[in-house]
Amino acid sequence: MNSGWSGRIDGTAPEHLRWHQIVEPYEPGGAPGACAFVGFASDEGVRRNKGRRGAAAGPDALRSALSPMALAAPLRAIDAGTVAVAGERLEEGQRELGSRVTALLDAGHFPVVLGGGHEIAYGTYLGLAGSTRRAPGTRVGILNLDAHFDLRPDPVPSSGTPFRQILEADGDSVQYSVIGISQPSNTKILFDTAATYGVRYLLDEDCGQSNALAFVDDFLAGVDLVYLTIDLDVLPAAVAPGVSAPAAFGVPLATIQSVCDYVTASGKLAVVDVAELNPSLDVDNRTARTAARLLHRIVTGHVALVG
């Protein structure tokens, strides 16, 4: 199929398969249990947040990076297309993304949302919040792997506001936690805002693997469903140069991968998204390939767990 799913074909038997050979277009009413990709092509939130634009090209770059990766075992994967934010119509795009995520969850699939700026988070959350997966009394945990809180008090929504929007609407039933916060990249008012909303966080300089996994263990103990959101600027700039705000320090890739593995193995993961890939700023597709590798592990681990 198109939209970035293409690559080398060594054969069609299970032992030859790569991602681009198994992804099929989404058809409502199909059998449940598939990994379901959906893109969110948006620069508007980054523009409003005065960041470097280019993330709208992220979804297809992620598809292209994932396409040639080899599969250890066959699985089902579908692509529900891309929500493209036209001009300044960010809020409309977020609602559309939410509708698609809700439909995929209610159909029994595992949504993997490809961004786009981190304004993707509000749309992804709307999808989970509106789905039947979130039964009354369910406590949702949002685990953000990110150098930034994205809790800005700005009156106009942007890539810097999504989690404040979520907490303002549903704070009593949501635990928001962040791994990788860079102190120099967040003003004191953002730390104060985090304290006001009961946000738990781990600074990038404290993200040794044992510390990070202990943090995740505490997080998982208090929630029923998990939304995992990966802002690629959590990684060191040498690993992820293709982002709006490259990290001067960052969290080691091995730690981020271990956190993703741990969350996946919990059985509580309902939806995942990747944000802030900016292909125009990438070096040798380094950032896209790193993100694709993380998604590859998350999805194959999720399939092995539920299968």
Residue 231 annotated as part of some ligand binding site: yes
Residue 43 annotated as part of some ligand binding site: no
Q: At what angle do helices 253-265 and 209-221 cross, to 10 degrees?
A: 30
The 10 Å Cβ neighbour count of residue 152 is: 23
CA dihedral sign of residues 217, 219, 222, 223: negative
Residue 150 annotated as part of some ligand binding site: yes
Could you give the CA distance from residue 240 to residue 245 in angstroms, rounded to a whole number? Answer: 10
Q: Which of 190, 145, 211, 198 has its CA nearest to residue 170? A: 198
Residue 206 annotated as part of some ligand binding site: no
Instruction: Find out whether 126 and 40 touch, Cβ atoms under 8 Å.
Output: no
- Residue 222 tokens, joined: 């208090």
- The vertex-121 CA angle with 115 and 123, nearest 5°, equals 90
Residue 170 annotated as part of some ligand binding site: no
Q: Which residues are annotated as a binding site?
A: 118, 146, 148, 150, 231, 233
Q: Which residues are annotated as a binding site for Mn(2+)?
A: 118, 146, 148, 150, 231, 233
